[in-house]
Amino acid sequence: MKEGPDIAHVAALIGDPARANMLTALMGGKALTVSELAEEAGVTIQTASSHLSKLDGGGLLRPRKQGRHKYFSLANDDVAHVLEGLMGLAAGSGRLRKRTGPKDAALRQARVCYNHLAGELGTQMFDSLIMQGHLVFDGDDLHLTRSGQAFVTELGIDLAELRKNKSTLCRECLDWSERRSHLAGSLGRAFLSRFEGLSWAKRDQTTRVISFSANGIAEFKRLFPAV
Amino acid sequence: MKEGPDIAHVAALIGDPARANMLTALMGGKALTVSELAEEAGVTIQTASSHLSKLDGGGLLRPRKQGRHKYFSLANDDVAHVLEGLMGLAAGSGRLRKRTGPKDAALRQARVCYNHLAGELGTQMFDSLIMQGHLVFDGDDLHLTRSGQAFVTELGIDLAELRKNKSTLCRECLDWSERRSHLAGSLGRAFLSRFEGLSWAKRDQTTRVISFSANGIAEFKRLFPAV
DNA sequence: TAGATGCTTCGATTAGGGTCGAACTATGAA
DNA sequence: TTCATAGTTCGACCCTAATCGAAGCATCTA
């Protein structure tokens, strides 16, 4: 009847509670096994298996077999982007899964969004990088300037290694809690893993919260002063 | 079980074919009545009414009563943004509702995305505005420069009037066909309606196609030269 | 007031899909 | 080879939600 892509099918895939739980869990960035995702979703392994094959069929996931384990992660940044958008809508219409608790505050401050830093600190980092001229918009794309290249290298990130990766280096991602952009792409990932490597930050394994050490937050504020 | 917004509920709302058809129709930007939407979705009026109250309850729609008619439009740009994102995913996974036909080509060239110009011409306009320095990124937000203000005023757009509106003036919106940004926000709307006012462009009432006149396309290319 | 039109509500039907138990396949360990 | 663990497939059950007819409410026209 109508032209254009079949939006209902994808949305229906995300629309089942069990599958939505799995996808939300995968927003943590870590690849998870079928059993782990079953646990997350609160269903049996058979059910989870069925859901995962549907999600995979819809192009939302990227499966990888390793021995007798099967790992799933989100297919790409676009998927993560849409999921964040949906979270924004859900949060906007005032529906939270649980009442706002202390954990939510932590989530708002710093959380992982499919591998990179999101929340207040995420947007602060993004704004600061722009303001310092390390990152500029080139039309629609984000571009790391010469000064930016020096900056990240100084921090101990291997740019040459990152560029080998076929995925985009810099990319903006909309934050559902902040309603502002933060940095995604392989550079976004690299930042977060560097913070972890320096022991500035640590991911909670079950929630998506990222907790910074006292020293870590100080170093962070030094590198990325608020605008 | 998990923290964060209830993504499944919103996604499930979009995930029903009838509702997805309605939302897609509303991406055209025009407010539509219950009966019109029922027609679009291919269901009876009762069914449509039920669907619409659910969508409204989920915060996706903005209803307005006018006499014995009830008009619905999308609640805001965020909703349109998520829908475009979903279309991108659906298109990416190779699912089109119908085989690609001649109408699709027209859709790719210029279509309406919830009120503003999308497609090739949309991204061309956006890139051109950036390149000419009429539009700049200010952190995460888009900003109309002094030269840009002169530019749009010259074109006959009343900026003072637009600013009275509470919604954002400039905003970027990701295009599912082009995978690039185009201009949304009240300025984006104003551009499109100005093009219509000047008889440069005309919207098809049933599809989302925007057709430019020969003169219109010439003026457009003059104002927004390709980069 | 009477009639027509647009929409909502109620109730009954029905189909699609989520769920899990049980059986089966595949990989790894001993 | 034998056992254990991870995941898939099959089949049956069951529940939600989409659907529409019929009746009711609201608004406009004459």
Helices A185-197 and A146-155, interaxial angle, to 10°?
30
pLDDT tops 80 at residue A205: no
| Phi, psi for residue B66 in degrees, rounded to 5 | -140, 100
Q: Tell me the chain A residues in contact with residue B12 when contact means C-beta distances shorter than 8 Å.
A: 11-12, 15-16
* Listed residue (A84, A25, A30) closest to A55, CA to CA: A25
Residue boundaries of the structural domains of chain A: 7-75, 100-223
Name the average pLDDT for chain B.
Answer: 83
pLDDT tops 90 at residue B18: yes
Q: How many CB atoms lie within 10 A of CB B225?
A: 12
Q: Mean pLDDT across the stretch B60-79?
A: 87
pLDDT of residue B93: 63
pLDDT of residue A140: 52
Give residue A54's identity as a one-letter amino acid code. K
Q: ∠A179-A183-A186 over CA atoms, to 5°?
A: 145
Q: How many CB atoms lie within 10 A of CB B163?
A: 11
* B101, closest residue in chain A (CA to CA): A3
Maximum average pLDDT range among A88-97, A105-114, A193-202: A193-202
What DSSP state is assigned to residue A179? S
Given the cut 0.85, state whether the ipTM is greater than it.
no
Interface membership of B20 toward A (CB under 8 Å): yes
> Left, alpha or beta for B52 (phi > 0: left; psi -120 to 50: alpha)?
alpha
pLDDT of residue A91: 82
**Is the pLDDT higher at A55 or at A76?**
A55
Q: How confident is the model at residue A104 (pLDDT cuts 50, 70, 90)?
A: low
Q: Smallest Cβ distance to A16: which of B8, B59, B81?
A: B8
Q: Smallest Cβ distance to A25: which of B2, B24, B140?
A: B2
Strands (E), chain A: 32-33, 61-66, 69-74, 111-113, 116-118, 135-138, 141-144, 171-174, 181-184, 201-203, 210-212
Report the C-alpha gap between A86 and B6 in whole angstroms. Answer: 9
CA–C1' gap, A8 and C3, in angstroms: 41
- B89, A98: Cβ pair inside 8 Å? no
CATH number, span B7-75: 1.10.10.10
Q: Tell me the chain B residues in contact with residue A210 when contact means C-beta distances shorter than 8 Å.
A: none
